[in-house]
Amino acid sequence: MAYINKSLAGLGKTDRQRLAAVIRGTKGTISVSDASEILGVPSPVVAKMLARWAVKGWLSRVRRGLYIPVPLESRTAEVPLEDPWLIAGRVFDPCYIGGWSAAEYWDLTEQIFRTVLVMTVKKPRERRPEFNGTKFLARTISRKAFFGLKPVWRGSEKISVSDPSRTILDMFNDPGLGGGIRSTADMFSNYLSSEDKDLDLLIGYADRLANGAVFKRLGFLLERTAPDEKNAINACRAHLTKGNAKLEPRQNNKRLITRWRLLVPEGWIREQQVD
C-alpha cells in the first residue's frame, strides 16, 4: 500500500492546475524558466510560486531555481534524485557524464562509485555539490575538448556521455577520473577485451587532445597488458614528447621508465624492467 505524504499542505484549485501543468510539461526537473514558459507567467512570480509549492511539500528544491516533483507516496519532501544525470545536465550544462560514471555506464568496471562525475565547460563555485543526497564532482574542460560523446536518452531527455574510447582517454589524461591509476588500468583492461575496443580511435582522440602524458601512460600500460598491440604501441612512441610525466600524479613516482619517459611508483614494475 502506498503511503501518502501526510506533511503535504493543501493547494487551492488554481495552484493544483498550475502544478499539474508544470509537471506534465517538464522532464523530471522543473526550472523557473520552464514553469514560466508553460504557465505564461513572469519568472519572478513563478519563482515565488515554486518556492511556495516546495514549502508545502509538493516539490523538492534541488538548488536555487531548480526543483523536482515529490511523489505522492513519499513520506517526506526530501526525496532522492530519481536520475542524477538529469540534474547534472541542468546544473552543469554544457557538460557530459565522464570518467568513472561513464565507465559504469559502458560496463568497463564493476566498482560502485557514489559520486556522479561531470565534465563541464563551466567553472562552478562548488565542485563537489550534493543535491538531495547525491554527490557530484565537476571537472572543467575547454569547449574544444567536447568530442567523442554519445547522446543517451534518460526518460524523454538526451544527456551526453563520453563514448568508451573517450572515457578511457579522459582517465589517461587524469587518472583521478578513474579513481586512480590502478582502477584506470583495470578499466582499460576491460576495454581491451570488450566489443567497444578501438585503439585507432583512442589514438586519434589522444592526438586531438594533445597531452603528451596520455601517450606515455597509454604506451606503458599497453606494453604491460597487451604487448601484441604493436601498431598502437608504436603510435604512442611516435607521439612521445620531451620531459618526464608521472603515471599517477597523486603518488610518489620514483622509478623512471626511460623508453616511455614515465615516472612510476614503487611496486608497479620489477627491478629488472626498469631502464
> Which pLDDT value is given to residue 23?
81
Going by pLDDT thresholds of 50, 70 and 90, the confidence category of residue 270 is: low
| pTM metric for this prediction | 0.78
Distances (CA, A) of 66 to 31, 38, 69, 88, 228: 5, 15, 10, 12, 51
> Which pLDDT value is given to residue 14?
81
Q: Domains of the chain by range and CATH?
A: 13-69 (1.10.10.10), 83-182 (no CATH), 198-275 (no CATH)
Query: How does the average pLDDT of the chain come out, rounded?
Result: 86
pLDDT at 145 over 70: yes
pLDDT at 116 over 90: yes
Closest CA to 118 of 172, 52, 170: 170
In the predicted model, what is the mean pLDDT of residues 34-51?
Answer: 87
Tell me how far apart the alpha carbons of residues 123 and 127 are, in angstroms, rounded to a whole number. Answer: 8
> Which pLDDT value is given to residue 6?
39
- Looking only at the bridges linking them, the beta strands covering 157-162 and 245-246 are unpaired
Give the residue, 230 or 89, on which the prediction is more confident: 230
> Which pLDDT value is given to residue 74?
47
